[in-house]
Structure 1
């Protein structure tokens, strides 16, 4: 229930919202306490802050003297809610989900936001609609609310609500005050991630490490709220699930050890299904390390990987081949298929930047993904997954770009132009300087060197030469360098 001071504050805040008389019975129901406690609280408040702050009238109940209330600054809420309506609903929803199936008093859920009954009613409708997306329902009984449904759906809804998707470096979680996480729980889970990586002799990269962190944090938070998970969590594993664990002993043993550590940390027993849940997250994650290099791929993974490589090669009009490229992408495709088939969703905090920076590649990947989903009977591959795949092909392009064939042109083709050549080759190794020519030879060099991408010139180039050019000074100043860098980026984008 909280301290006496908290109860007094809650009573006063309730009366400020009503601006009318409330009976002791109504007050007791709203605050989830007894009528005797209400009488004692009112007496204490009036003794401490002056008779008449809470007025009483026989047959009508109690009413706050609002003018007297606002004149006493020590009763004013110290800080109005700084949350937006959406943030408020998210926080209330998170509290309901973490406490599920237990009911929460409506007043307790909304008291820190200083909103009235109409706002609370509106929030309830919107929260109920949100929960329906996860096959969950919002149940209201008298003055309480409860989120009800299957445990797997509850955890999925919590995972989507927890605002940690912009975390890329996992160690940032130690000092991120915006997340409002339990500091000791954060340190404990980060230790478990390090132990998992050590035992597997692998590194779990972003975003998979963040998703595993989220899974364990939700598990710990749920147990702190409800102490005992719903009965469905206690059911034994199916024969198929048991067989899968036995076939992958390395991940199974690691998951078992980590859940055992959680049990010791919370002084609470957990069902075997929790080992399987963590095992699933590990198996759905991309691993980087010695074992990942010898991973065996199913024929399905091989076919899907080749579909992406061939489809993107055609769309980008560049050859994409090689064992290392195949292995790199296949190691991503394998856990992605598992995630799709089991409804695991990973957030991509870089998605907006990826769409903006690699717009063409992202569009092409999305189109290939649509073909993959259809041809291999997979669920729709969402934008988050497409964003991750886009980075693979962006990296291939960045690291395998053909050099930009460049000609340097000046009045004579000698002297300062050779100095210019040395400076450019040193600063921009992606340029292949095929020759230094004089302006009088402009027409002939286009025949001698077909396929030139760029002319760097210290004089104006004739409009009759159909090759992009950039005018620079012979001293190749910093401004020239910046302009050339932008031109190089533009050429790569056009490719």
Structure 2
């Protein structure tokens, strides 16, 4: 449902009038939101424009500008958005479609009529028909069908797909950055607020206690996104059961895990849920909760890496996939990451539940995905390449963008750790005092670096050949040389530090991405 909100409509109209690049800060001040919010809006606008000849162009240091193959395309877009619903109508329409889709999913397999939906939302039958077309486009890729017949309209699909779609809608309502002073247990304020609005405070508080007891029984905590994921899905299961709408499981319930301690914990949870809702649950709900527990990542503390569960949760398959990922990513960036134990441990703990999520078709949401795609663009792209190479043997199990985003953060941290040990040669011709100042500030910013020498520019070639530094930092222009060179001011300000980091990380990743793209074209 790629529908622009009121603010996104206004942002697009603003950009249409711009003749010059506008910075994110300018746009953020114009619309009284954060730069990250503007960045997310721009991503949605880019998706909105995907089938047109217009795109949002981002130029480093300049900002944002709409560009098109010709002016006529821009004029046509302006006419198009002016012909669409007014700003208020657009955002209300989007919210209404979410409510209709949520209602249909919640009530399936029961039918409803267009007349009832029209009366419920105070709009015409024609508008409801248009809403249903948009909803159908959204649910079809999720394995669901919108069935229209003389008796009514309903969504058709299996119980798992219905719950996944409901979870996607609820996740869309969660504002994980919502400010608040009260932290309701493990839930952040934005998630708590969205779940309470959807299911009611009593049910949310019950599941909160249920999961607290589950973590105590497991003797380890779940990672935050997985905690919210299982929290949401248990609420959906309870909601569908109390309304009498549970669909039968398309697969027979497996009995091979009856002696598994985690399966027993899942059984105890189902018994507590049955007691709470005063209704019995199908036998396969134990299996359902079991799947979600073993598909949840563990919240790993660095000083707890030797706990028994740390070994129990891993597998030969997880280790093999992790080593394969490490090898492929290392080859892509021409940096050997195989000896980075912190990277290996972080990946292997994530990979085991990832395998289960792929097998059981469980989706998790990454609330930081937009930021990762924007701020770690090269590493995210290279991680996606590595993931697709590793999982090429099981094409039916596509690794989602959300999953790739989590893996990309591990790789970004590892790449940044690579710059902690460097042999640096300084070129400074402004005097002994400033060269000492430059040296001290570099070591304060990068304490593990070794300054091998400080030389004037005319001695650079011979000293470089003799000392083979990893990097040259210079306050004056130097002749071309194979060793990377970063130009800075004598006082090494924040811009200089950013320039050094970009030279060591960003440029290398850009080159790796471009090199791979060139080999594929």
**Common fold: TM-score over 0.5:** yes
TM-score by length of 2: 0.69
State the 1:356 CA deviation.
Answer: 2.3
Structure 1: distance between partners of 2:468 and 2:106: 67
464-473 or 327-336, which deviates more: 464-473
Distance change in 2, residues 1:451/1:334 (3 Å):
same
The 5-angstrom pairing of residues 309-324 of structure 1 reads 309-322=326-339, 323-324=341-342
Structure 1: distance between partners of 2:173 and 2:204: 12
State the 1:94 CA deviation.
Answer: 0.8
Deviations 1:323-366 (A, max 9, x none): 55433322222221222122222222322222222223222222
State the 1:178 CA deviation.
Answer: 9.0
2:494 is aligned, of 458, 476, 482, to 482
* Aligned residue number for residue 167 of structure 1: 176
1:258 is aligned, of 248, 251, 269, to 269
Deviations 1:254-275 (A, max 9, x none): 2122222222222222122111
Q: Is the 8 A contact 1:159 1:215 kept in 2?
A: yes
Q: Is the 8 A contact 1:174 1:186 kept in 2?
A: no
Structure 2: which 5+ runs fail to align?
1-87, 178-185, 301-306, 509-521
2:351 is aligned, of 333, 342, 355, to 333
Structure 2: distance between partners of 1:129 and 1:192: 36
- What root-mean-square deviation, in Å, do the aligned CA atoms of Structure 1 and Structure 2 show? 3.1
Distance change in 2, residues 1:297/1:143 (3 Å):
closer
* Aligned residue number for residue 104 of structure 1: 112
Secondary structure at the counterpart of residue 493 of structure 2: helix
Distance change in 2, residues 1:130/1:494 (3 Å):
closer
* Aligned residue number for residue 468 of structure 2: 450
Q: Is the 8 A contact 2:174 2:190 kept in 1?
A: no
Check if 1:243 corresponds to 2:256: yes
State the 1:196 CA deviation.
Answer: 1.8
* Aligned residue number for residue 39 of structure 1: none
Structure 2: distance between partners of 1:236 and 1:273: 9
Deviations 1:123-176 (A, max 9, x none): 233434544444444345668433333222221221222225653873324653
* Aligned residue number for residue 100 of structure 2: 92
1:284 is aligned, of 295, 307, 320, to 295
State the 1:282 CA deviation.
Answer: 0.6
The 5-angstrom pairing of residues 172-251 of structure 1 reads 172-173=189-190, 175-176=192-193, 180-181=197-198, 182-224=200-242, 226-227=243-244, 229-230=246-247, 232=248, 238=253, 241-246=254-259, 248-249=260-261, 251=262
Q: Is the 8 A contact 2:196 2:204 kept in 1?
A: no
How many residue pairs match? The answer is 402
Check if 1:271 corresponds to 2:271: no
TM-score by length of 1: 0.72
Q: Is the 8 A contact 2:174 2:194 kept in 1?
A: no
Deviations 1:287-312 (A, max 9, x none): 23534421264443332222111111
Check if 1:157 corresponds to 2:173: no
Secondary structure at the counterpart of residue 257 of structure 2: helix
* Aligned residue number for residue 371 of structure 1: 389
Distance change in 2, residues 1:153/1:438 (3 Å):
closer
List structure 1 segments (4+ residues) > 6 angstroms apart after TM superposition.
none
Deviations 1:375-409 (A, max 9, x none): 35662323222222212211221234353433334
2:414 is aligned, of 396, 406, 414, to 396
Structure 1: distance between partners of 2:430 and 2:134: 74
Structure 1: distance between partners of 2:477 and 2:137: 64
Structure 2: distance between partners of 1:91 and 1:276: 30
Deviations 1:442-475 (A, max 9, x none): 4543333323413243xx33446665242424xx
Distance change in 2, residues 1:482/1:150 (3 Å):
same
Q: Is the 8 A contact 1:406 1:432 kept in 2?
A: yes
Q: Is the 8 A contact 2:195 2:204 kept in 1?
A: no
Q: Is the 8 A contact 1:105 1:145 kept in 2?
A: yes
State the 1:190 CA deviation.
Answer: 2.3
Distance change in 2, residues 1:142/1:335 (3 Å):
same
Distance change in 2, residues 1:294/1:391 (3 Å):
same
Check if 1:406 corresponds to 2:414: no
Structure 1: distance between partners of 2:506 and 2:230: 36
Structure 1: which 5+ runs fail to align?
1-79
Structure 2: distance between partners of 1:280 and 1:260: 17
Q: Is the 8 A contact 1:340 1:378 kept in 2?
A: no
Structure 2: distance between partners of 1:439 and 1:156: 62
